[in-house]
Chain A
């Protein structure tokens, strides 16, 4: 039984806590708006920079010497890097702010991975790389957002393709035996990558901005899943919550 004094103190603490939450939400909104505005402002000048450098390199503004060409190629590469950074930040910001509108519905994980593999198989084969997937006999059903999960697997498989030399083989697997953590059951998907780069927080080739990893983790965690990087084995494990 609370005394009258305790009750007043609790109510006061509750009021202060609510005030604090509102303040934090407001600050978060301001930060998101700033990020959105900064991205908007960053995108606009990138088009003329990128395109005019390309025009000069293509000789559309007259002849250039070898040294000028080399310098402009560096500018072009760095601008392309900046473009990727802006793209990734744009994709990341709604995930971080919870405004991505993630649907959480039962979906078959094999169906998702098959679609991704199908879309990337040609790219891999052009590089002389074969993509192999090991599936369990029955389809694990997870609760998640199909579109964003496709994005996760596309990024991870593309990364593996970029890291694999021609003539190589990429094998990834969907485990049939669920992983139990507390009360929850997860399906485990193992994908190859390069441990050294991941430990440096990078996904993708050397030109990658490193935000791919943050994005993958954000999407998976937003759906109640987990991402584990297995040091030394060059693999990443994605755990997604199973239905039922």
Chain B
């Protein structure tokens, strides 16, 4: 069965890029473009991993991350934060809210895919 990735990004070109890149690597991709949709899909679609932008409409990525960590159904899903904010403070805040990894824009899709692979293989062990 294909591993399912939920990609949450409000910028359409970046969303398309990440979706295409992951699909070409054999992942099943579902998408969300705001924080509330992200939370809904994380709970109903049961993804294996979430790629989560921080600056999102309706509810920011930190809040989404915190809420998913508090929910027993989504508690264990690895989250990679994807953001334009590359400073240490943002990175630390992401980790404190429960993110497993972090990638700062501009990023390479190769790096993102490597992080996803690594997190998914760790989860399987």
CB of B107 closer than 8 Å to a CB of A: yes
In the assembled complex, the CB of A210 is this many whole angstroms from the nearest CB of chain B, namely 20
Question: Which A residues touch B14, using CB under 8 A?
Answer: 44, 47-48
Contact B84 A40 (CB under 8 A): yes
Instruction: Give the size range of B's interface with the partner.
Output: 10 to 19
- The answer for the CA separation of A51 and B103 in the assembled complex, in Å, is 15
19 CB < 8 A contacts A-B: A40-B85, A43-B86, A43-B105, A44-B14, A44-B105, A44-B106, A46-B105, A46-B106, A48-B16, A48-B17, A50-B106, A50-B108, A51-B108, A52-B17, A83-B106, A86-B106, A87-B86, A90-B87, A94-B87
Contact A44 B11 (CB under 8 A): yes
Task: Flag if A43 contacts B17 (CB, 8 Å).
Answer: no
Contacting A at CB under 8 A, from B3-32, are: 11, 13-14, 16-17, 21
Contacts of B13 in A (CB 8 A): 45, 48
In the complex the two chains form, what is the Cα distance from A39 to B85 in whole Å? 9
Q: Are B87 and A43 in contact (CB under 8 A)?
A: no
Contacts of B16 in A (CB 8 A): 48
B73 an interface residue at 8 Å Cβ cutoff? Answer: no
For A47, the chain B residues whose CB sits under 8 A away are: 14, 17, 105-107
Q: Which residues of B contact A52 (CB under 8 A)?
A: 17
A94 / chain B contacts, CB cutoff of 8 Å: 87
B11 near A51: Cβ-Cβ < 8 Å:
no
Show the binding face of B for A, using Cβ within 8 Å: 11, 13-14, 16-17, 21, 55, 84-87, 104-109
A195 shortest CB reach to chain B, Å: 33
Chain A residues within CB distance 8 Å of chain B: 39-41, 43-48, 50-52, 83, 86-87, 90, 94
Residues of B contacting A41 in the complex (Cβ-Cβ under 8 angstroms): 84
Q: Is the interface of B mostly helix, strand, loop or mixed?
A: loop
Of A43, A51, A83, the residue contacting B84 (CB under 8 A) is A43
Please name all residues of chain A whose beta carbon is closer than 8 Å to the beta carbon of B11 when the two chains form the complex. Answer: 44-45
Q: Min CB distance, A85 to chain B, in Å?
A: 11
Residues of A within 8 A of B84 (CB): 39-41, 43-44
Give the residue among B16, B84, B107, B109 with the most A Cβ atoms within 10 A: B84
Shortest beta-carbon distance, B115 to chain A, in Å? 15
| Chain A residues near B86 (CB-CB < 8 A) | 43, 87, 90
Q: Which residues of B contact A83 (CB under 8 A)?
A: 106
A41–B106 CA distance with the chains assembled, in angstroms:
11
Would you give the shortest CB distance from B23 to chain A, in whole angstroms?
A: 13
Measured CB to CB, the nearest residue on chain A to B12 is A48
A131–B17 alpha-carbon span in the complex (Å): 41
> CA separation between A44 and B14, bound complex, in Å?
8
Q: How far is the CA of A3 from the CA of B84 in the complex (A)?
A: 59
In the complex formed, the residue of B with least CB distance to A39 is B84
- Are the CB atoms of B55 and A43 closer together than 8 Å? no
Please measure, in the bound complex, the distance between the C-alpha atom of A52 and the C-alpha atom of B21, giving whole angstroms.
10
Which B residues lie within 8 Å of A44 (CB)?
11, 14, 84, 105-106
Report the 4 A-B pairs with minimum CB-CB distance, sorted nearest first.
Answer: A46-B106, A43-B84, A48-B13, A47-B106
Residues of B within 8 A of A87 (CB): 86
B-chain residues with CB within 8 Å of residue A45 when the two chains form the complex: 11, 13
Complex Cα distance, B89 from A90, in Å, reads 13
| Sample of 7 more A-B contacts, CB < 8 Å, known A43-B104, A46-B106, A94-B87 | A40-B84, A40-B85, A43-B86, A44-B14, A47-B105, A51-B21, A51-B108
